Amino acid sequence: MDYRWRCQDERGRDIPGDETLFAGQTEAEDWLRDSWQDLLAAGVDRVTLLHGEAEVYGPMSLHAP
């Protein structure tokens, strides 16, 4: 089962797009560390890490606390 990020806007609506799949959780987290600013600029407000369809954690804001 692959990992992926569910991206949502500020109202909690899913933002459709090209879903990148990752073989492991660390790979997914590394990608987010490198890509969060691009996601924020594209209108993503928060993300949730999924393993298959199960939520691993989130939603997590992309904005600074």
Summarize pLDDT for 40-65 with one digit per residue, the tens: 999 999 999 999 999 999 999 999 87
CA distance 60 to 7: 10
The structure's pTM equals 0.92
Task: Tell me the percentage of the chain whose pLDDT exceeds 70.
Answer: 100
CB 43 within 8 A of CB 16: no
Number of domains the chain is built from: 1
Alpha-carbon 10 to chain mean position: 13
User: Residue 24 belongs to what domain range?
Assistant: 3-61
Beta sheet of 3-8, edge-to-edge order: 3-8, 46-51, 54-61
